[in-house]
Chain A
């Protein structure tokens, strides 16, 4: 299970790359592996407002449908458009090419509540048991 140290995580298996107020969001390696082959991704539009903990999109594998939950609140400033036509990118490269949206975070408190890599790894291990 690949859990990069420089990212933050949610208990819903999203990752967040925090660069100032800009937060790039995707799903973790563990999440893509659990889902299996991703065949469809539904993302918001630039300008949409997302709320921490609420669904901002959907990712579907051949069998399962999963909501995507926003790790932070804010405005969507970028969307990974090519993902819609190449959803398999989520499986192939979940932390780089498979990113989903960039949110301009409006509340610094949100960031403090995210898990670091160690805490996320522990959370996944506990969830597995």
Chain B
């Protein structure tokens, strides 16, 4: 049977449609994907993302050990700062893409994808490098409060000054009397926060946020909107856009691979790949013909298959059909013309710069 987060009953009572995702019974939508998507872009949305996993590295070797399995450089971030990057295999294949929260050099929390909880924990434990590695995935409820009004909703519930909490920073604070880690992170392309609390406090935290958001147009939002929101800003989805057979360089994540930081697992393979040149690259595209490109559809050029669609959707904000696809480097330049095989019909598309959507700075 699929696992349930501590908020399962609240979701059902809120009218959510539940679906199985990565072994979890999760809300895919409440009022509707488009409505929730628009709610997050213009006001705020609240997501239960407790299915995400947490693995913690502790001890004097924690920072060094984690930096050896992580492509980005944890030596470059301060305590109270989070960093995005990949865990890679020796051959450069991506075990997972994660956000690591550096509480101190001796205490770091790795937030992993739901579907990779066990795989990541085993991988990290096998590469503990003298650190104490614990799987705390069942010890945390994680809620994401996202959207331009997120700060206005959260601020009255906490004594900490949220204006001082910059992007990718986090702090410990009470929210509605509940002990939380508040991080200014997210997966929607909007301003917002991710809140970690104990499972026993999860329902109370959710209800306090819903109550605080009542006058601000806050909507509960499900995995459907989470996916369309993340794709508009070209955030990668593990399992769709990359997997164990893809390297971060191919996935367009070279910016989180610090080849000059010292040795880490996958570094040699990626150095070689960089020298030899990539055989494929993940790019953004927009369909210029009708239709929606979906994961697994063929990318065509001159009538021949040259690549594959990783993610695709109709962008609720832009109203165009967007996607990410693996193509040969020769077709990766902005403006390149490709086609997508939509159920046997070739639909014209153009390679474009990502993200597709950028929030207006206020």
Contacts and interface: CB of A to CB of B under 8 A. Distances in A.
Interface stretch (A56-64, A94-102, A103-111): A56-64
Nearest to B228: A62
Contacts of B294: 65
Is chain B's interface secondary structure helix, strand, loop, or mixed overall?
A: mixed
Contact of B34 (A40, A58, A62, A65): A62
A43 B68 CA distance: 54
Nearest to A65: B294
A60 B343 CA distance: 13
Given A62-B224, A62-B314, A62-B316, A37 B290 contact: no
A84 interface: yes
B290 A63 contact: no
Contact of B33 (A40, A42, A63, A65): A63
Contacts of A84: 290
B332 to A, nearest CB: 27
A40 B292 contact: yes
Contact of B290 (A42, A61, A88): A42
Contacts of A62: 33-34, 224, 227-228, 313-314, 316
Interface residues of A, number: 14
A39 interface: yes
A37 B32 CA distance: 6
B291 interface: yes
B81 interface: no
A4 to B, nearest CB: 23
Name the residue in A61, A62, A63, A65 with the highest tally of chain B Cβ atoms < 10 Å from its Cβ: A62
B219 to A, nearest CB: 14
A63 B343 contact: no
B292 A36 contact: no
B33 A37 contact: yes
Interface in A29-66: 36-37, 39-40, 42, 58, 60-63, 65
B291 A42 contact: yes
Interface string B6-48: 0000000000010000000000110011110000000000000
A36 B35 CA distance: 11
B292 A60 contact: yes
A118 to B, nearest CB: 26
Contact of A39 (B28, B35, B292): B292
A115 to B, nearest CB: 25
Contacts of B35: 37
Contact of B224 (A36, A58, A88, A91): A36
Nearest to A37: B34
Contacts of B228: 62
A24 to B, nearest CB: 23
A38 to B, nearest CB: 10
A62 B312 CA distance: 9
Interface in B251-295: 290-292, 294
B32 A40 contact: no
A39 B314 contact: yes
B318 to A, nearest CB: 12
A47 to B, nearest CB: 18
Given A58-B343, A62-B33, A63-B28, A40 B316 contact: no
20 contacts: A36-B17, A36-B33, A37-B32, A37-B33, A37-B34, A37-B35, A40-B290, A40-B292, A40-B314, A40-B321, A42-B290, A58-B343, A60-B292, A60-B314, A62-B34, A62-B224, A62-B228, A63-B28, A63-B33, A63-B224
Given A37-B35, A39-B314, 9 more contacts: A36-B17, A36-B28, A40-B321, A42-B290, A42-B291, A62-B314, A63-B33, A65-B292, A88-B34
The 10 closest A-B pairs by CB, nearest first: A39-B314, A62-B33, A37-B34, A37-B33, A37-B32, A40-B292, A60-B292, A62-B224, A62-B228, A63-B224
Interface of A: 36-37, 39-40, 42, 58, 60-63, 65, 84, 88, 91
